[in-house]
Amino acid sequence: MPNQLQGHDFTLLPGQVAPFGANISADGCNFSIYCPDAKDVYLCLFDEADIEIAQIKLKQRVQSKWFGFVKGVSEGQKYAYRVNSKDHRKVNTEMDVGRLLIDPYAKQLSHALVWDRDAYVGKTSPVIGQAVKDNQAFIPKSIVTASVPCDRLKHSSNSLSTNGEQPDRIIYEAHVKGLTQNHPDVPAEQRGKYLGACHPSVLAHLKSLGVTCIQFLPVFAFMPEPYISEKGLTNYWGYNPINFFSPEPRYAVKDALAECKHMVSEYQKAGFEVILDVVFNHTAESGEPGSILSFKGLCHRHAYLQIVNDELNTPTYINYSGCGNTVNTADTYMMTLIIDSLRYWVSEIGIDGFRFDLAASLGREPIDFHADATIFKILRQDPVLKNAIMIAEPWDIGPGGYQLGQFPDYWLEVNDKYRDTVRGFWRSDTGLKADFATRFMGSRDVFPKGMRPMLTSVNNITYHDGFTLHDLVSYSKKHNKANLEDNHDGHNHNLSDNYGVEGETSDLDILELREQQKRNLFATLILSQGTPHILGGDELSRSQLGNNNAYCQDNELNWLNWELDERQKSFLAFTKYVIQLRKENPLLSHMMFEDDQFDSQVNIDTADWYRVDGSFKRDQDWTNQDHHCFALHIIGATKASPGQQVRKAQEWLYVVNSSKKSVEFNLPLLLKNQDWKCVLNTAISDIADYESQSMSPLFTMEARSFCLFKHRD
């Protein structure tokens, strides 16, 4: 018999076990939740003022799945769950029926989750007939949301039009708030918000820069860690999720879901791909003493990797993330949840792909990493996700956690070996010449020819964690005092240099050298084989004042500065120029050699490496630690269209000198100097002066410089 709830127009009727979450229909809503730890599950409904107006005990259950259809529930209804747990399945003594819990499948939350210890503990009040601590004022309410496909999928049977093998892809990493919090063209109410991030002035800047793909730092709903919140700081980056479906409310003016979808749509209309940085390796609930917010109260033994010890009353959480817990991605429910989340962000939000934080955790089954883990197989064949961009941060901190080069061949991988080698090489460290050449040509020692495409390597000089590009050439040590951890946090192996003065200086010689080093690093990044990744703000010479772990700084350290001085404008012009150079000359970004059988295409006839005297490099030259200089001569394959003459192939000459002294080069290739032109010289600050450089087989390569010559067509 239907359960009529007095005083409200809600009626509990028989429901459906699938799908999970709150699924709206014409006359009500079906609620389904996974809760193996429960004796009883209560669906709690709230009004607009967050006053609890109904407690509905779900009566239907299939094994660990509880469900029911509630007539009278409409879109926008706020809800949450309370659980009467089995005594032997409680996460700890804090878990009682007074704990309000977020639906793991909630598509939208009522407000941001802000740590408040008193509100989290709650006040004693009667709940489900018991006097317990009720924390309902602390927990955001889930919101019943209708399913609406994203605009580009409404009239198409295709899941995505992109995939992981785009040779012209250039990734730009951005934070939704930091991108526009200081932008003068963005209306005040939209600064730091989803709507501000897609403002026409922002899109115009990114378009003129030449990037093709925006990678946003996490936008999953999250909670800053209690220990950092109680210091008066916050988790600005957002790598502490509590829900894998709901967009973060902090970035909304009014409606996080609608505004996030609008942001993604506007980027795609402007021709950009959109990638989300996603965190499936841990949640904000942390370890044993951490908060009970969602999974811990519903299915903690399924959600997290644990060690069960007969001598202990509660399990010990395994911490391969460094954040207190590790999501058990091999568990059937959690794997289903992750796949459902990814499908949702593609099919309803419109996302093109994902960058997975600490992605080695995805492949643990459940402890050891497996390159053919079940979740990778599902992603490979899933009709919605198989063409999505998949980027791995290929490690975590667990045993066997460093897995660079071990992900499936359809994945791209963030390449820290590239970062460290390029930084050290341009700092004039010895013994890196061979490694630099390998990284420059696609890191084929890590991603072997015939097995992985050249674009697999996601090359970066800087990322959100670590120094910005400007700080990389301005600071020799980290300066993290503002993080209130006595400068103990953050990496100490930065491969940076200040070139004479730590931090800001008015010394013109030092400033000029720093700008030249920035040009070297950026040009190397854009002209290397692989997929370039740019840290948002590097093109604007953004500084974090030497802070290399600015995760907790929601202030000017992280917000982009759009008011540039002349030196900053000059570097911005350089970044645009180098990116355009890459885009206008496909051979520079996607070299396909005859000995690489990953596909059947070949566009390179010749690739020769030269010593400074013009002779071919020998094996022993690559191991000579005193040499920092070499040249690379590339000749493209000749092609002819049917009925047309053979077109002459492009011909390029790269010349590199990372030493602290100028070097005399002798390159007979340049004997016919009228046939060559200089298109890049990082020793020259003005782009307009490149082509006026005189060409000669005998020439001087300035200290710490990178030149690129093109044979005239």
| Residue 450 CA: distances (Å) to CA of 380, 440, 600, 690 | 19, 18, 10, 38
Q: Determine the Cα–Cα distance for residues 325 and 637; give it in Å rounded to an integer.
A: 52
Q: Determine the Cα–Cα distance for residues 294 and 311; give it in Å rounded to an integer.
A: 27
Give the orientation angle of helix 332-344 with respect to helix 374-381, to 10 degrees: 30
The distance of Cα 543 from the centroid of its chain, to the nearest Å, equals 20
Q: Are 651 and 636 in contact (CB under 8 A)?
A: yes
| Residue 57 CA: distances (Å) to CA of 37, 105, 133 | 15, 19, 19
Among this protein's residues, is 357 annotated catalytic? yes
- Best CA proximity match to 63, nearest among 3, 17, 29: 17
Q: How far apart are the first and last CA of the chain?
A: 84
Residue 216, helix vs strand vs coil? strand
Q: Of the listed 225, 259, 277, 393, which one is catalytic?
A: 393
Q: Of the listed 96, 248, 352, 357, which one is catalytic?
A: 357
**Three-class HEC string of 23-61:** EEECCEEEEEEECCCEEEEEEEEECCCCCEEEEEECCEE
Number of other residues whose CB lies within 10 A of the CB of residue 444: 19
Q: 59: which 2 tokens?
A: 């009566």
Q: Are 142 and 109 in contact (CB under 8 A)?
A: yes
Q: Determine the Cα–Cα distance for residues 341 and 350; give it in Å rounded to an integer.
A: 12
Q: Partners of 278 in the beta sheet? A: 356
Q: Determine the Cα–Cα distance for residues 683 and 686; give it in Å rounded to an integer.
A: 9
Supply angle C-alpha 338, 178, 351, rounded to 5.
30
With a CB cutoff of 8 Å and minimum separation 6, the contacts of 645 are none
| Residue 33 CA: distances (Å) to CA of 62, 100, 334, 587 | 11, 14, 13, 52
What's the helix, strand, coil split of the chain in %, to 5? 25, 20, 50
Task: Sort residue 210 into left (φ over 0), alpha (ψ -120 to 50) or beta.
Answer: left
Number of other residues whose CB lies within 10 A of the CB of residue 7: 7
Q: Are 268 and 152 in contact (CB under 8 A)?
A: yes
B/e letters for 54-87, b = 16+ CB within 10 Å, e = fewer, are bebebebeeeebbbbbbebbeeebbbbbbbebee
| Residue 281 CA: distances (Å) to CA of 108, 239, 242, 295, 344 | 21, 10, 12, 14, 18
Which amino acid, 188? A
Number of other residues whose CB lies within 10 A of the CB of residue 539: 26
What letter would DSSP give residue 369?
Answer: B
Q: Are 279 and 221 in contact (CB under 8 A)?
A: no
Q: Determine the Cα–Cα distance for residues 261 and 154; give it in Å rounded to an integer.
A: 14
| Residue 200 CA: distances (Å) to CA of 186, 203, 481, 652, 708 | 9, 5, 37, 37, 34
Rg (C-alpha) for the chain, rounded Å, is 28
With a CB cutoff of 8 Å and minimum separation 6, the contacts of 477 are 494, 502, 546
Q: Which residues are catalytic?
A: 357, 393
